[in-house]
């Protein structure tokens, strides 16, 4: 193994960047990288790898250079003596800050007498300082650091430095290309890329992988471990059109789990400290202080890495909200407000590491057991709902239940011996089963309130949701179709017990057919106008039961009260079961059309 410790001029590096930028062939790009990595002194290899992938650190560190163009132009002005206005005009004409820098160096009206060739080490260290500068004087500091570098830079170096600091390096070199090049440069063959890839997937730090393989060869990669605080690449799903095919692919016995529609969260817990990473390895701990708190109350292990999906919910009814609602968390200034308005559940579905034990190579059911052992479920932290099933028929019912609960479908997960956690891999061990159609419910419907559920939290003392039904005129009965908890004003809400007082009875009304047990029952009388996202199959509601599919009824997904009390309508004038079936069929037709 090479052990040389030496200098490398920055000029040498940017020559490669120019060549890479000039090629349109992927293989040629890899060849240039192989050549570059072979000629890079080992002590600089991690830095060269980060710089080449347009970063200064591993991606998950999340310190970004992203210097504003205006600031960068100020630094050019300081280094060259050219006026800011002139530089801005050049930028408008050229549209590439790198080219502006290059031309500015050419025209420069002041030369530095002490200019010396830039080295990779020096450039890296200064950029590191620039990236970390914070506080009130940080802008000036950034400008000074960059202008210092530009004073010593050649034209070509200025081009790449400026593109780099403004986040526009655009060499388009992805992690997998770097891994290919490292495999060839340091193990002699691309054959070994799988080993590098596995190391990268469980510890996505390209600089570390590069130095390890360069210093210790393929064997050294075994030392690259799962580490709390370093996000693993997420395991991903394949897609398959039917549940039957998923069973065939997975050996007849399958773990089926709700596919929640929210944001993926990889939670790292270490002795009371908690970090949350997104699917793209970003640190998203800050927008989720509530999840951090709930995790700290729920996870019993000292150290753990847990995989899950966070879903916003309606605090009054507990129902899931569409995934977009979580995005309110990403607006920096109103996190507190968003937490109040859109609290979130975290559904944990996998356990990758517990108290020093790497579980990624253990089968799924083992990991599920561990998860159960170390997580105490609370109001906010839950275990993802799953069933191990052997028949597609049962799976269909479970699928409908998932959709009706506000999920996107199911994920079929292999429980075979080799069902390890394949970090970063989109393989056949996890298969997503989503609906093949989705269409909008355009018309509101008029539904009868037949019961209610006691409220909790903000709704304690009033109703959390109403149980709504359609009318079956042939048999003169009311059949349930949804729980309704959204769309009410605060005033409406507080008033619900008053409005319904005169209709309350102490048992289910004989004309109501319901599989659900309400807390309070009404004589079916009051009609409300309701709009939803769509009509879906449902194992819990009695509307359309057995008419479209055995043991299955119909439900309204994401129902909301429009605000119109239909006092003008009697319960017999409510939307009928037949009308709902017609709407359901029309929905299917529009999709097929
Ligand atoms: P893709 O992953 O295909 O790029 P996507 O981000 O839309 O697309 P899907 O493939 O549709 O995601 O589904 C995978 C995602 O489903 C996971 O990344 C995770 O966020 C989410 N998910 C929800 N519930 C589960 C679960 N029980 N197990 C695993 N993933 C789940």
- Max CA-CA distance within the chain? 98
Q: Which atom of ligand 1 is nearest to the CA of 430?
A: 29
CA-closest candidate to residue 451, choices 474, 472, 473, 481 = 481
Domain boundary among 434, 454, 480: 434
- Same-domain check for residues 451 and 568: yes
Using only the alpha carbons of the chain, give its radius of gyration.
30
Query: What is the domain extent for residue 518?
Result: 445-592
Pairing of strands 344-354, 381-383: parallel
- Same-domain check for residues 404 and 286: yes
Q: Does the pLDDT of residue 341 top 90, yes or no? A: no
**66 pLDDT band (50/70/90 cuts)?**
confident
Q: How many CA atoms lie within 13 A of 426 on its CB side?
A: 5
**326 pLDDT band (50/70/90 cuts)?**
confident
Q: Is the CB of 346 under 6 A from ligand 1?
A: no
Q: Is residue 230 part of a domain?
A: no
pLDDT tens string 421-469 = 999 998 899 999 987 655 567 788 999 999 999 988 778 889 999 999 9
Domain of residue 273, CATH code: 3.30.470.30
Residue minimizing CA distance to atom 11 of ligand 1: 432
Q: Does the pLDDT of residue 332 top 70, yes or no? A: no
- Same-domain check for residues 357 and 248: yes
- Same-domain check for residues 375 and 488: no
**333 pLDDT band (50/70/90 cuts)?**
low
pLDDT of 342 reads 84
Supply the pTM of this predicted model: 0.80
In this structure, what is the dihedral angle of CA atoms 134, 136, 139, 140, given to the nearest 10 degrees?
-120
- Same-domain check for residues 191 and 327: no
Q: Is the CB of 74 under 6 A from ligand 1?
A: no
Residue minimizing CA distance to atom 26 of ligand 1: 259
Residue minimizing CA distance to atom 10 of ligand 1: 237
- Same-domain check for residues 382 and 489: no
Q: Is the CB of 432 under 6 A from ligand 1?
A: yes
Q: Rounded to whole angstroms, how far apart are CA atoms 289 and 284?
A: 10
Q: Which atom of ligand 1 is nearest to the CA of 434?
A: 11
Domain boundary among 413, 434, 455: 434
pLDDT of 242 reads 85
- Same-domain check for residues 30 and 74: no
**355 pLDDT band (50/70/90 cuts)?**
very high
Average pLDDT estimate for 77-90: 95
- Domains in the chain, number: 4
- Cα of 408 vs centre of ligand 1, distance in Å, is 9
**589 pLDDT band (50/70/90 cuts)?**
low
């Amino acid at each position: 193994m090479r052990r040389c410790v030496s200098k490398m001029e920055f000029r040498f590096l940017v020559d490669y960047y120019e060549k890479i930028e000039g090629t349109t062939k992927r293989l040629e790009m890899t060849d240039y990288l192989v050549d570059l990595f072979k000629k890079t002194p080992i002590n600089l290899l991690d830095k060269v790898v980060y710089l080449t992938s347009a970063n200064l650190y591993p991606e998950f560190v999340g310190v970004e250079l992203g210097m504003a163009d205006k600031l960068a132009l100020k630094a050019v002005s300081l280094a060259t003596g050219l006026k800011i206005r002139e530089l801005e005009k050049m930028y408008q004409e050229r549209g590439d800050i790198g080219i502006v820098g290059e031309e500015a160096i050419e025209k420069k009206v002041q030369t530095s007498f002490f200019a010396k060739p830039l080295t990779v080490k020096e450039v890296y260290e200064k950029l590191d300082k620039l990236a970390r500068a914070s506080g009130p004087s940080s802008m000036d500091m950034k400008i000074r650091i960059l202008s210092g570098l530009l004073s010593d830079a050649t034209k070509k170096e200025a081009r790449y430095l400026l593109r780099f600091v403004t986040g526009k390096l655009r060499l388009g070199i992805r992690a997998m290309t770097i891994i290919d090049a490292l495999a060839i440069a340091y193990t002699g063959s691309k054959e070994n890329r799988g080993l590098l890839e596995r190391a990268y997937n469980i510890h996505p730090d390209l600089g570390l992988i590069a130095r390890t393989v360069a210093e210790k060869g393929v064997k050294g990669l075994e030392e690259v471990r799962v580490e709390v605080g370093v996000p693993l690449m997420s395991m991903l799903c394949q897609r398959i059109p039917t549940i039957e095919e998923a069973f065939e692919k997975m050996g007849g016995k399958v773990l089926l789990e709700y596919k929640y529609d929210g944001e993926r969260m990889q939670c790292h817990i270490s002795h009371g400290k908690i970090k949350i990473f997104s699917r793209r390895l970003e640190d998203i701990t800050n927008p989720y202080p509530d999840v951090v708190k709930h995790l700290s109350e729920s996870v019993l292990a000292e150290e753990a890495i847990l995989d899950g999906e966070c879903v916003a919910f309606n605090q009054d009814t507990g129902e899931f909200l569409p995934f977009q609602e979580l995005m309110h968390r990403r607006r920096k200034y109103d996190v507190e407000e968003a937490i109040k308005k859109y609290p979130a559940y975290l559904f944990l579905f996998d356990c990758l590491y517990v108290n020093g034990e790497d579980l990624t190579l253990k089968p799924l059911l083992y990991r599920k057991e561990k998860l159960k052992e170390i997580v105490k479920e609370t109001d906010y932290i839950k275990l993802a709902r799953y069933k191990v099933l052997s028949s597609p028929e049962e799976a269909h019912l479970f699928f409908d239940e998932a959709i009706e609960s506000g999920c996107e479908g199911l994920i079929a997960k292999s429980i075979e011996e080799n069902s390890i956690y394949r970090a970063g891999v989109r393989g056949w061990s996890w298969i997503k089963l989503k609906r093949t159609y989705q269409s909008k419910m355009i018309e509101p419907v008029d539904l009868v309130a037949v019961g209610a559920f006691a409220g909790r939290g903000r709704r304690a003392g009033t109703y959390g949701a109403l149980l709504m039904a359609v009318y079956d005129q042939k048999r003169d009965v009311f059949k349930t179709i949804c729980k309704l908890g959204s769309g009410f004003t605060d005033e409406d809400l507080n008033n619900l017990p008053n409005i319904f007082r005169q209709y309350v009875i102490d048992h289910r009304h004989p004309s109501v057919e319901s599989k659900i047990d309400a807390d309070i029952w009404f004589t079916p009388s009051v009609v409300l106008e309701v709009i939803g996202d769509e009509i879906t199959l449902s194992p819990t509601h009695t509307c359309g039961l057995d008419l479209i599919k055995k043991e299955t009824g119909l439900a309204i997904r994401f129902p909301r009260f429009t605000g119109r009390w239909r006092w003008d309508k009697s319960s017999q004038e409510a939307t009928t079961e037949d009308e709902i079936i017609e709407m359901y069929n029309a929905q299917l037709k529009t999709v097929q059309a």
